[in-house]
A and B are shown apart, each in its own frame.
Chain A
């Protein structure tokens, strides 16, 4: 049995009080951030989760009655929901792949000095800087079947008029063109920054060894920028799952549901059909999709790190 002296007990007590006082200060400093997250993220999320188990209507959002998993059962049995999930996956996949490829290619091209590089870099950044609503309006005009620039151009080549935003076979393609145009500059800028971290000596060594451009890219550049590409790919994936304004402004989810992604579906259910319960359920399922993607990414990243012995 350990017997501590009164002096030691007194000293340890005041040390605990000092530690508690110091900890209280730290908690107070992070309190505003925690409150912000609780109020603007956690609370609405929990409320949305609750609403997804009710029959709440837009005009009386707090008046819904608990109906269990009925909304989820309805969605899982609805072809329209699975179609919107498929559209979301296709839209996300194509956007991410093309944005990564185009953005990386543009970054590689801008990574070497040439006359006019600054101007071209500014022009390539322009789509990302343009307000999304303005971009959507411009593309609506470009895609107009009768008076749009695109049909005028392909008309010169002898191709007939295409309903870019009115033909279900082309609706998603048109939305993807607009989206990739809008977002690839972000990838370009991030990858361009990552390329600055590739040591010049490696390029030199590669040149001495007689490697061509493609081999240099595969063996020297790509391993260096791969972590950046992974993070950018993850962000692009999450943003694409959540993207609403471009799709809704261009097509409203049409033609014939061709561009009806999960997020557009949420909006239509909530505001056109005023069915908040089902809309919230779709939103929760969309969140689950984002979380799955994020978890898969981090698991893959951890496995890769372990393999490289850097965990």
Chain B
């Protein structure tokens, strides 16, 4: 066949018409009803956690029995990539149908209008007060997946070997106990995140320290990064970092494995991670002891939200899934996998769980006073602010910068960058 100008122009015109027709066909039509069923893609980084991930997924699969025309598919990536991947997908108009997000990310997505309002499916639900904070202009755009709190946990086996019969109650006791552990057992004394390569998790864990000394990053309208309380928190963090009881250079994956393998004695951890330590290692739930944080003031919580993608092709089915999720059936199904977390409704821990995990009640006790990780008044700028703060923290622990000066510089930089 010879290519002539006329034939090329004719072919291009036909291709354009076909493309336009296909595009119009794809764009036409609204989301199918929930009763029509379909496939829902559910995203959660926790599906990758050993043991717990399968437990969570199996709990959610209960919806397939509730709505036998629905099929659930999971998608998961490690947390460090999960946030970036989800933001990129949602920003491009795609992404999973239903997903979990941390509170900071939720605020950004809600402000961008990417979350589907759920008012019509939650009217008859028994949500607790924690869900109040997930409303935007009166619309409930998410429900609590779980709210995790932080506590000091100890490896009972190592504590017994070193002759320690109670958890430390302040920083100096923590350092002394960590040194005692090292001398008696050769294991590491204490661990907490400290690497910029884990920024997305580090800044959330670090908040234990400034909050523990009564600090906060803003007063609701002005940033207060360099407040005396925040400086005290950073000084305590540096004191522990320099004490020689931490495995410097270990990421969370490594030192958490050490805890499971009786190679690390104390951690400041959240209850979700603590539950995962009872699977795939050398310890069980009864080998973990827990107690309040070794500070004067309460710590923070991580509020993880379950939300529906406004651009989902199956919005109605996704909303029906949320309706089931917050029902007694759904909350009971998910409870074992979420351990000592506070859920969307006040479904209690089972007696069986509590006896297998005596460390759990401490975390539930923290929930009454724990504080949000979001910077009040600057919710959608939280991550950008914490980038600046954590760079200052890193300079203090690695270069020995003065904490007060480092936080003062962070205050100035944050005020300038919020332009």
Could you tell me the distance between the alpha carbons of A259 and B248 in the complex, rounded to whole angstroms?
18
Residues of A close to B108: CB separation below 8 A: 59, 274
User: Which residue of A has the minimal Cβ distance to B419?
Assistant: A74
Could you tell me the distance between the alpha carbons of A25 and B8 in the complex, rounded to whole angstroms?
11
Contact B90 A146 (CB under 8 A): no
Asked whether any CB of chain A lies closer than 8 Å to the CB of B304, the reply is: no
Contact B249 A59 (CB under 8 A): no
A contact set with B: CB distance below 8 Å: 20-21, 24-25, 28, 57-61, 74, 143-148, 163-168, 248-257, 268, 271-275
- Report how many A-B pairs have Cβ atoms within 8 Å: 95
User: 20 extra interchain contacts, Cβ-Cβ under 8 A, other than A58-B91, A144-B249, A146-B188?
Assistant: A24-B8, A59-B108, A146-B247, A147-B247, A163-B249, A163-B398, A166-B194, A166-B249, A167-B398, A168-B398, A248-B197, A250-B197, A251-B197, A252-B199, A254-B197, A254-B394, A255-B394, A256-B391, A268-B387, A274-B383
Closest 5 CB pairs of A and B: A252-B197, A254-B196, A271-B84, A273-B384, A145-B249
Mask for B115-155, Cβ within 8 A of A = 1, else 0? 00000000000000000000000000000000000000000
Contact B250 A144 (CB under 8 A): yes
Asked whether any CB of chain A lies closer than 8 Å to the CB of B221, the reply is: no
Tell me the interface secondary structure of chain A in the complex. loop
B95 to chain A, nearest CB (A): 11
A249 to chain B, nearest CB (A): 8
A122 to chain B, nearest CB (A): 32
B373 to chain A, nearest CB (A): 15
User: Which residue of A has the minimal Cβ distance to B81?
Assistant: A271
Could you tell me the distance between the alpha carbons of A271 and B91 in the complex, rounded to whole angstroms?
12
Residues of A close to B419: CB separation below 8 A: 74
Mask for B1-15, Cβ within 8 A of A = 1, else 0? 011110010000000
Find A24's partner among B3, B248, B387 (CB 8 Å cutoff).
Answer: B3
A159 to chain B, nearest CB (A): 17
Asked whether any CB of chain A lies closer than 8 Å to the CB of B87, the reply is: yes
Known: A144-B250, A272-B387. A251 touches B196 (CB 8 A): yes
Residues of A close to B49: CB separation below 8 A: none
Contact A61 B250 (CB under 8 A): no
Find A271's partner among B5, B87, B249 (CB 8 Å cutoff).
Answer: B87
Could you tell me the distance between the alpha carbons of A135 and B193 in the complex, rounded to whole angstroms?
23
User: Which residue of A has the minimal Cβ distance to B111?
Assistant: A59
Contact B91 A60 (CB under 8 A): yes
Known: A20-B5, A74-B419, A257-B391. A146 touches B250 (CB 8 A): yes
B179 to chain A, nearest CB (A): 15
Asked whether any CB of chain A lies closer than 8 Å to the CB of B92, the reply is: yes
B394 to chain A, nearest CB (A): 5
Residues of A close to B109: CB separation below 8 A: 59
Could you tell me the distance between the alpha carbons of A70 and B302 in the complex, rounded to whole angstroms?
35
Find A272's partner among B92, B195, B200 (CB 8 Å cutoff).
Answer: B200
Listed residue (A59, A250, A255) with the most chain B CB atoms within 10 angstroms of its CB: A59
